Amino acid sequence: MDIRKYIGDRVFYRKLFSVLVPILIQNLITNFVSLLDNIMVGQIGTEPMSGVAIVNQLLFVFNLCIFGGLAGAGIFTAQYYGKGDGDGVRNTFRAKLYIALGSVLLFAFAFLWKGDALILLFLHEGKENLDLAATLAHGRNYMRTIMLQMPLFALCQVYSGTLRETGETVLPMKAGIIAVFVNLVFNYILIFGKLGFAAMGVVGAAYATVIARVVECTIVLVWAHRHTERCGYLVGLYRSPRVPAPLARRMVRLGLPLLINEVLWSAGMTTLNQCYSLRGLEVISALNISSTISNLFFCAFFATGNAISILIGQLLGAGETERAVDEDRKLIAFSVALSAVIGSVMALVAPLVPQIYNTTDAVKALARDLLLVSAAMMPLNAFTNSCYFTLRSGGKTIITFIFDSAFLWVIAVPVAFLLSRLTKMPILPMYITVSLLELIKCVVGYYLVKRRKWVNNIVSGF
């Protein structure tokens, strides 16, 4: 094996880091402040932390619906930009606005109509005898307030995603950094009642998030519309609501599977956590701690996946197919190697971070063990994540659907469902068993990428 095929030159890494670093920095800071936010809520007690964690698990489905819906149009945006077609970028932007509006209305209705019922799915007695009624009340109060940020989040993602797909990665990073620090400051003030404000607990955490979304959205929109020489596709954007019918049909054909995939994938991950929750409310608390910490370390391969989508999409749109194949191989190798290093660091800190939380020793010990499992799995997760974004960059959304959501619902969810309901297997062996199913996905991902069916220019002729 020639290892040089997996290592790029200085020009390759310079281009990679120009896209990767701003996305990575924004994600790191966002997740670090989320960790601090989580720790602050955790200081109130296990029940408030669990209530917030359950609602955030439900919001996770909404967030992924936004990402998935916009990503379908974003495939076209990146390739139109690579082609130099400003009108094409403008039309995909309009499509994103419609997708965002539809998603917000759908989830707002669901949360208002069935919010309590959704939270109750995760509430089960465990060994620690935690207060389920109090957890429900905290979750309900948090949900009613946090919903205010949903339209702001969706609109900001439309603008930020388009900016990244057209080469402007720094501005969304700056806006995200400012927003997370605003969130952190107001978390401290509103959760604990500082500077003359009343202590609002979980509701204060929700209001802090809403304020941060207002700030982020304002920065991105004002900057974009003041720099039309850089964002030419915004000129005349709102003069017409029209998206050309042929393009709309093609975006639906390629983008709908991606939207469905993200919704089903996030719903599948939420279902996995619901299966785990049958072992008791303390499991939800431990999963909340471990996932919040894990997400900080997962930023590396998530950011690399976004870089793959942007860089490979632009090369495919420009017709440089062989170069796209070569650089994709190097990007995947980079992601796996980086994740192996970061996973080792995560394993070292796993016994330390859970100790910060104001919760029981049993919850802390379980959170530590879950973190160690996640650290060991990180290189495998990085590989499958890179395969997913590779397939997506060429518009192979049906294949990505099968690779991602179909795998989750056909294999992982049934295994977790059966183990949680038909056996008395403790949570840790169950979690490890389900996690190791990722090995199957690695084999499938390698095969799909190797076949090169994703090498596809989807904007030729438009």
Task: Write out pLDDT tens, residues 33-86.
Answer: 667 777 788 788 878 888 888 888 788 788 878 887 887 788 788 778 877 787
pLDDT tens for 241-263 read 888 888 888 888 877 777 787 77
Measured distance between the N- and C-terminal CA atoms of the chain, rounded to whole angstroms: 40
Q: Considering the domain boundaries, does residue 457 fall inside one? A: no
**Helices 132-146 & 86-120, crossing angle to 10 degrees?**
160
Q: Considering the domain boundaries, does residue 157 fall inside one? A: yes
Mean pLDDT, range 417-422, rounded to an integer = 93
Query: If pLDDT is split at 50, 70 and 90, which confidence band does 373 have?
Result: very high
Q: How far apart are CA 81 and CA 382, in angstroms?
A: 27
Average pLDDT, the chain: 86
Q: Fill in the amino acid letter for 271.
A: T
Q: What pLDDT is recorded for position 28? A: 77
417: Cα within 13 Å, side-chain hemisphere: 11
284: Cα within 13 Å, side-chain hemisphere: 34
Q: Considering the domain boundaries, does residue 444 fall inside one? A: yes
Q: Is the pLDDT of residue 459 over 70?
A: no
Q: How far apart are CA 339 and CA 328, in angstroms?
A: 17
More confident residue, 150 or 130: 150
Q: What pLDDT is recorded for position 438? A: 93
Q: Considering the domain boundaries, does residue 461 fall inside one? A: no
Q: How far apart are CA 456 and CA 453, in angstroms?
A: 7
Q: Considering the domain boundaries, does residue 353 fall inside one? A: yes
Mean pLDDT, range 203-210, rounded to an integer = 92
User: What DSSP assignment string belongs to 86-150?
Assistant: HHHHHHHHHHHHHHHHHHHHHHHHHHHHHHHHHHHTT----TT---HHHHHHHHHHHHHHHGGGH
85: left (phi over 0), alpha (psi -120 to 50) or beta: beta
Q: How far apart are CA 37 and CA 35, in angstroms?
A: 5
Q: Considering the domain boundaries, does residue 462 fall inside one? A: no
Q: What pLDDT is recorded for position 454? A: 81
Percentage of the residues of the chain whose pLDDT score is greater than 90: 34
Angle (CA) 62-65-69 rounded to 5° is 150
Q: What pLDDT is recorded for position 210? A: 94
Q: What pLDDT is recorded for position 33? A: 63
- pTM more than 0.95: no
Q: Considering the domain boundaries, does residue 460 fall inside one? A: no
CA 428 distance to own-chain centroid: 24
Q: Is the pLDDT of residue 458 over 80?
A: no
- Phi and psi for 131 in degrees, rounded to 5? -85, 105
Alpha helices in 394-437 (DSSP H): 397-401, 407, 413-422, 427-436
State both tokens at 17: 């880091």
Q: What pLDDT is recorded for position 1? A: 58
The 8-class DSSP code of residue 405 comes to I
Q: How far apart are CA 124 and CA 121, in angstroms?
A: 8
Query: If pLDDT is split at 50, 70 and 90, which confidence band does 30 have?
Result: low
Q: Considering the domain boundaries, does residue 458 fall inside one? A: no
Name the domain count of the chain. Answer: 1
Q: What pLDDT is recorded for position 281? A: 78
Angle (CA) 205-207-209 rounded to 5° is 75
Mean pLDDT, range 108-129, rounded to an integer = 81
Mean pLDDT, range 126-149, rounded to an integer = 83
Mean pLDDT, range 11-27, rounded to an integer = 84
Q: How far apart are CA 454 and CA 272, in angstroms?
A: 30
User: What is the extent of the structural domain holding 377?
Assistant: 3-451
23: left (phi over 0), alpha (psi -120 to 50) or beta: alpha
Q: Is the pLDDT of residue 309 over 80?
A: yes
More confident residue, 344 or 18: 344
Q: How far apart are CA 369 and CA 364, in angstroms?
A: 9
Q: What pLDDT is recorded for position 392? A: 79
